[in-house]
Amino acid sequence: MKRELRLQARQLRADGLSVRKIAEVMNLPTSTISLWVRDVALTSTQVETLKLQNRRYGAQNKGAQSNRLAGQALRKSYQQVGRAKAQEGNPLHLAGCMLYWAEGAKARNNLQFANSDSNMMKLFIRFLREQMGVPDTKMRMFIHCHTEEKDAQHQIEEYWLTLLRLPRSQLRKTFYKRGSTTVHRNLPYGICRLAVYQSAILQHIYGAIQEYGGFEEPSWLD
């Protein structure tokens, strides 16, 4: 079997494929392919083609690396704003950031906060409005509930919209979640999820959390 694989690799090389491409096609280490095909002669045309491909591949990698570093620098600048805000010691800002640390989704570019506790949701949306300056038009609401009945879903939607003082235009899809058949703890108003699709807001919170907590979390920049 090894001999057949080696012959296959040599034939692919003779056809002008790069060592990296052969390894990818055959699902083998590049070091093994390189050893098997190192004495296979290529035509001048094949050599020039591989050189061109390598230059393109290198340029793509360089561009991707540059974009990644630029993104990290931008996120770091947003976090610095959050750190500076944390140094002011505003109680509502502290509460909102700590709530997000405990209950928020640890994404990179968008804020996602969900809970069934109405008071917690009221406090968090107040934090978004008063401390983060997020207008209602930038907020999105999603509901997860335990009923498929449309009238009941509508009542649950109205409950959260009224509680958080959001217009229905900011409501998105309501999801049905089947309740447990063994544990009877279905939530009458389900779970409300708020989303803000702004990296600056999320990274501000990440920076503030680190400042309040006195630690560094480099993974929040990746």
Taking only the tens place, the pLDDT of each residue in 138-151 is: 999 999 998 889 99
Q: Which CATH class is domain 81-221?
A: alpha beta
Position 201 pLDDT exceeds 60: yes
Tell me the two tokens of residue 100. Answer: 């997000």
- Burial label for 79, CB within 10 Å (0-12, 13-18, 19+), is buried
Position 1 pLDDT exceeds 60: no
* Average pLDDT rounded to a whole number, residues 16-44: 87
**Mean pLDDT of the chain, nearest integer:** 88
Position 82 pLDDT exceeds 80: yes
Q: What is the pLDDT of residue 159?
A: 97
Furthest-apart CA pair in the chain: how many Å? 75
Q: Helices then strands (H, E): number in the chain?
A: 8, 4
Return the number of other C-beta atoms located less than 10 Å from residue 155's C-beta: 14
Cα 92 from Cα 127, distance rounded (Å): 6
If one compares 69 and 191, the residue with the highest pLDDT of the two is 191
Cα 169 from Cα 50, distance rounded (Å): 55
If one compares 113 and 147, the residue with the highest pLDDT of the two is 113
pLDDT digits (tens, 9 = 90+) for 31-79: 898 999 988 888 888 888 887 777 776 666 666 666 777 788 888 999 9
Position 10 pLDDT exceeds 90: no
Cα 178 from Cα 53, distance rounded (Å): 52
Position 190 pLDDT exceeds 80: yes
If one compares 129 and 67, the residue with the highest pLDDT of the two is 129
Tell me the two tokens of residue 107. Answer: 């994404």
Position 179 pLDDT exceeds 80: no
Q: What is the pLDDT of residue 63?
A: 63
Report the sign of the C-alpha dihedral through residues 209, 134, 198, 109, in that order.
positive
What is the percent of the chain with per-residue pLDDT over 70, rounded to a whole number?
Answer: 90
- pTM for the structure as a whole: 0.69
Task: Provide the residue ranges of all domains of the chain, joining segments of one domain with +.
Answer: 2-64, 81-221
Amino acid sitting at position 69: L
Residue 198 to residues 85, 134, 195: CA-CA distances in angstroms?
18, 10, 9
Give yes or no for a contact between 143 and 153, defined as CB atoms under 8 angstroms apart.
yes
pLDDT-based confidence at residue 183 (cuts at 50, 70, 90): very low
Amino acid sitting at position 33: I
